[in-house]
């Protein structure tokens, strides 16, 4: 089977966005604040999913998407903890409804109610709710809840540890994923996302996080940011910083997806990164929605690039399925129970 | 001939660093502030250059390095404009002395006296001095003088325009190069440098700078950050943002160096980026100084990677020489006057 490890509900019903707009309006005018999350019918969810993610799954040949709320809309920098928390619950509940409607096609990953300056421990409750009550298999962790000001401590700082302890206890990985940028220097999907990926990996090199948490697992999306292209630099920096070789120091715990939107990029990814560390992902419907004029196919139809790789069928199966099942053990058990 | 477009005087004599240390000490205790730049003998310069950059040039087979002060030590975020200005002059004067001692092997590129919140127009004087008096052929422009807080306007903002007007008038390019990071999220050479490269390129896509300055030229170092690896993403984002194709929109004005420290990265670079946009560079003696255990050669011996490329001899000559002479016309004239 083919598992897409990176899909967002970017096409949620309009009422959901109106709820968010009202939340934001409520920051200035408390009377405008919404009393509760949007009322959305199953038909509205079906319509937005069947016309988009489910249609593209079928057209492109994936079977199951690990599905989370729209990353750019997480907006952890907007408002305070209470607002982030209400928005996060509404998002995660909506993902659960998608999964309930299409249990064979989607499995949930949660947003977290992060907020600048608020201890990450406050996100533990929503992680537990998402995993234990909603049946989710992972979370998206934002290394910069400020939205481009980068004033939180690095991911290796001990202040993140209580959350990591819960991740390990629940046996769920996190995708390191920032949200929108409110810094005019950083275009969200063109700079902030890729920079965050690169930054997180270098933090892992500098730190010793996986010595403290050998079972902790992170997916760094967008093909690992700049990392595979600069793999020599990172191997060399690990050496200069007197860290162990990357294979021992971080690559038992860090995985890259295939959200790299052209064949040469995917070719490089599989050339330098061990097969066991690569998970199929498309980020669709997402950051780049157009058709590549040089190929005639959508930029984010990443399955084509993996299909075209000159690697063994077994290695392709690892990228498409086995690695995701190893990184998301709760998903693996869920599939095994279905005889898959 | 072989021109290395990216070298820094990372091995400057110890007295130069003592001057810097005294400057920084003077921030707390004015009595500790130095009266003047360090007194450094020609022999000290010879010793540090001949044991390092010049030795490596010879060993690795380059002829000429476009040479600038140590990037990580520019430290624009340290102290105020006056301190940055004094440090910058000392650095540029030192580069001039290297060039005077080894005019066949080095040509100068200047640091700028940037300082957070200070208009970039204040850097025009040092650019003019460096080009007209010191004979330099370009400059290093820091898109984030805050050192990792990114609170300046993007490079496409009109506040940068007075400086660009002078660059065009003098016919010199800028390398987009940040300095050290004082943000614990960003390792300097492992995250901040690469992020800045990626960020600058995306700013150029979003903006319309080269419509306003058709003759403006930037080198984005470190192989263009994450850009070539994500070339499909950038082509797709230009399309989504309704910008012209990248070839027309930015690639007459933006160039990438070859500071990518492994063969697969360089292979990707030349596969996706037009030959005319690639300049040989090593960044040595620089960010990564060790030996790659997988090859037995230094990570930053980038000439080996270019030599090994499966491209025509003419294309290699463009990367090694012709492109640099086109991007740095003052260097080209200088070499032509020498019959080169």
pLDDT tens column, B113-161: 999 999 999 999 999 999 999 999 999 999 999 999 999 999 999 999 9
Selected residue with higher pLDDT from B284 and B27: B27
> Which among B211, B219, B275, B269 is positioned nearest to B243, based on CA atoms?
B211
pLDDT the model gives residue B94: 98
- The answer to whether B283 is a known catalytic residue is yes
**Is residue B300 a contact partner of residue B258, using CB atoms and an 8 Å limit?**
no
- B154 Cβ contact list (under 8 Å, min separation 6): A184, A185, B143, B203, B206, B207
- A134 Cβ contact list (under 8 Å, min separation 6): A92, A93, A95, A96, A99, A108, A110
How buried is B314 (Cβ within 10 angstroms: 0-12 exposed, 13-18 middle, 19+ buried)? exposed
What is the C-alpha separation between A340 and A297, in angstroms, rounded?
A: 30
Query: How sure is the predictor about B287, in pLDDT bands with cuts at 50, 70 and 90?
Result: confident
What secondary structure letter does DSSP report for A36? Answer: S
Chain B interface, mutation test: which of A185, A249, A292, most B Cβ atoms within 10 Å? A185
Partner residue opposite B199 with nearest CB, options A195, A228, A264: A195
Partner residue opposite A194 with nearest CB, options B198, B206, B267: B198
The verdict on a CB contact (< 8 Å) between A267 and B265 is: no
pLDDT the model gives residue B276: 98
Please report residues of A whose CB lies closer than 8 A to that of B272: 262, 264
pLDDT the model gives residue A284: 86
Give per-residue pLDDT as tens, A292-330: 999 999 999 999 999 999 999 999 999 999 999 999 999
What ipTM describes this predicted complex?
A: 0.98
**Cis amide leading into B285 (omega within 30):** yes
Q: Which residues of chain A have pLDDT under 70?
A: none
What is the C-alpha separation between B19 and A68, in angstroms, rounded?
A: 54
Chain A interface, mutation test: which of B143, B236, B292, most A Cβ atoms within 10 Å? B236
Name the residue of chain A whose CA is nearest to B230's CA: A260
The verdict on a CB contact (< 8 Å) between B260 and A195 is: no
Give per-residue pLDDT as tens, B161-207: 999 999 999 999 999 999 999 999 999 999 999 999 999 999 999 99
Q: What average pLDDT score do residues B41-49 get? A: 98
Q: Which of B47, B50, B128, B283 is catalytic?
A: B283
Instruction: Give the closest-approach CA distance of B108 to chain A in angstroms.
Output: 26
pLDDT the model gives residue B141: 98
Beta bridge partners of B69: B9
| Proportion of chain A above pLDDT 90, given as a percent | 99
The verdict on a CB contact (< 8 Å) between B199 and A184 is: no
**Is residue B338 a contact partner of residue B19, using CB atoms and an 8 Å limit?**
no
pLDDT the model gives residue B286: 80
Selected residue with higher pLDDT from B45 and B287: B45
What strands, in cross-sheet order, belong to the sheet with A254-257?
A: A139-141, A174-176, A218-220, A254-257, A278-279
What is the residue whose two structure tokens read 């990029």? A265
- A310 Cβ contact list (under 8 Å, min separation 6): none
The verdict on a CB contact (< 8 Å) between A226 and B225 is: yes
* pLDDT, mean over chain B: 97
pLDDT the model gives residue B284: 86
What is the C-alpha separation between B228 and A156, in angstroms, rounded?
A: 29
SS3 A125: helix
What is the C-alpha separation between A48 and A64, in angstroms, rounded?
A: 17
The verdict on a CB contact (< 8 Å) between B233 and A287 is: yes
In this model, does residue B58 exceed pLDDT 90? yes
């Amino acid at each position: 089977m083919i598992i897409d490890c990176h899909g967002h509900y970017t096409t949620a019903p309009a009422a959901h966005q109106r709820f968010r707009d009202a939340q934001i309006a409520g920051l200035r005018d408390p009377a405008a604040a919404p009393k509760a999350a949007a009322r959305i019918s199953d038909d509205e969810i079906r319509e937005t999913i069947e016309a988009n993610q489910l249609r593209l799954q079928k057209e492109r040949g994936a079977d199951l998407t690990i599905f989370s709320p729209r990353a750019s809309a997480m907006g952890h920098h907007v408002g305070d903890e209470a607002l982030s928390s209400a928005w996060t619950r509404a998002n995660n509940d909506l993902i659960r409804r998608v999964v309930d409607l299409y249990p064979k096609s989607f499995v949930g990953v949660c947003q977290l109610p992060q907020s600048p300056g608020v201890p990450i421990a406050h996100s533990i409750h929503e992680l537990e709710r998402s995993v234990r009550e909603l049946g989710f298999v992972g979370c998206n962790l934002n290394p910069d809840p400020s939205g481009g000001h980068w004033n939180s401590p690095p991911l290796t700082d001990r202040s993140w540890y209580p959350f990591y302890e819960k991740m390990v206890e629940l046996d769920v990985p996190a995708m390191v994923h920032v949200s929108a940028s409110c810094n005019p220097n950083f275009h969200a999907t063109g700079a902030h996302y890729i920079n965050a990926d690169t930054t997180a990996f270098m933090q892992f090199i500098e730190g010793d996080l996986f010595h403290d948490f050998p079972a902790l697992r992170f997916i760094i999306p967008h093909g690992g940011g700049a990392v595979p292209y600069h793999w020599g630099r990172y191997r060399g920096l690990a050496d200069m910083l007197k860290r162990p070789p990357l294979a021992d120091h971080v690559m038992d715990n860090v995985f890259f997806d295939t959200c790299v939107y052209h064949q040469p990029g995917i070719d490089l990814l599989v050339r330098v990164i061990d097969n066991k560390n690569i998970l199929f992902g498309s980020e669709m419907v997402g950051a780049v929605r157009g058709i590549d004029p040089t190929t005639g196919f959508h930029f984010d139809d990443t399955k084509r690039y993996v299909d075209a790789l000159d690697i063994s069928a077994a290695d392709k199966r690892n990228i498409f399925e086995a690695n995701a099942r190893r990184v998301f053990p709760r998903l693996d058990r869920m599939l095994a129970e279905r005889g898959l």
